[in-house]
Structure 1
């Protein structure tokens, strides 16, 4: 999938959790989750990203068993009730959860720990041949925003991602099946996030599809002087447009319609260069 990207893809967030920072509890019921998937499909989503564990700053970990309990009914319903061929990614750091999700119909692994929490997830990706997204983070969700520090955030994130890519390749994952994510907001200060966004082209130059996940994140609220994540839809769409112009190919968002429009317009402009 990642090796054949020819236009930006929109990944719609579906958190079936009680405590995610922006939409916790909204889609924990099966009917509500399915309605949201149908809504995203009408707005032009390319991938549904389903997670059963919040990774907001300060969040506690969730057992693989509980994650499976949350996500598998939704994945199964999408495949059986909606009968949609939409690509589905599982947002987890657990190989146990990822394996169960793949069995239920998922076809992408999205690991915010890039295989560090559970190295077996890299072997699973290699064995099954599914694409895997490797994200940079400093620390765990519980502690990552306590006191993050970098001397050169762009270079340090690049070096860390290169190490995780190397680990994936050594585990047998094919290069064409790997995408990378700088982990905006994951163990980053406001200026770190801005520096990474200003140098997305440097990340793209590594030769892997880049996923950008800025959706409704707090650092933009400090710039725009708003505290409600839901008020940061326009701010998110701005970063999507800038990302497209820098060569980013995947965008993980809460608000599909607005970011689909931003990506499509920016892509048309980029194509006219």
Structure 2
């Protein structure tokens, strides 16, 4: 059965911790779904533990990212590999609420191209995490909503659902950090396509260490922040301005799409 939702989880040496993450997702997601555990290398410590879960639930697949290392490439590869009409990106560290995956996916099914889980709208909250990073994120989200009217108060949050058709049409240019969420939100806004949000409570990870490099990732965020303030674009104009490597291959393409399935 073709899944309606593809849950994309970028991982890096999560080890046994991935089991609890996957169990929560499999328990809470009620829509027909696949869960893609996207890893950069074949010796990633996540793989054997994800394979144990996959052995008992065929919704789980381990997918080898061949686009290059890092979270942006893993997310990009996962969205490209998705078989569902909706791709939901979530983290392996337990910071996102898996109960909201269905709700985000249903918003896309109703016609929005980006559905954001928002920490900064009424009912949302951020619990823990670096204070300076949170302050920058909140300021960026608030200014983008008020000044650029992008449709969400939390454009920088990675926990989002996307129309896979939209993502493939506009292309994904991000190669650094977690800026894909901001990139696709900004592109949807420039195209005047619908963006929606629901409140979420984000919890700082309790296992492992964060690999978020604020100084290293900031230039990519600033690029897409500025991009959001530009005039309306047509799809043709957007496609003409993107680099060739941003073009998305369709699922099943022999080019740039090699999957490793763990059972």
Q: TM-score, normalised by structure 1?
A: 0.27
Larger RCO (CA within 8 A; separation ≥ 6): 2
Is the helix fraction higher in 1 or 2?
A: 1
Q: TM-score, normalised by structure 2?
A: 0.28
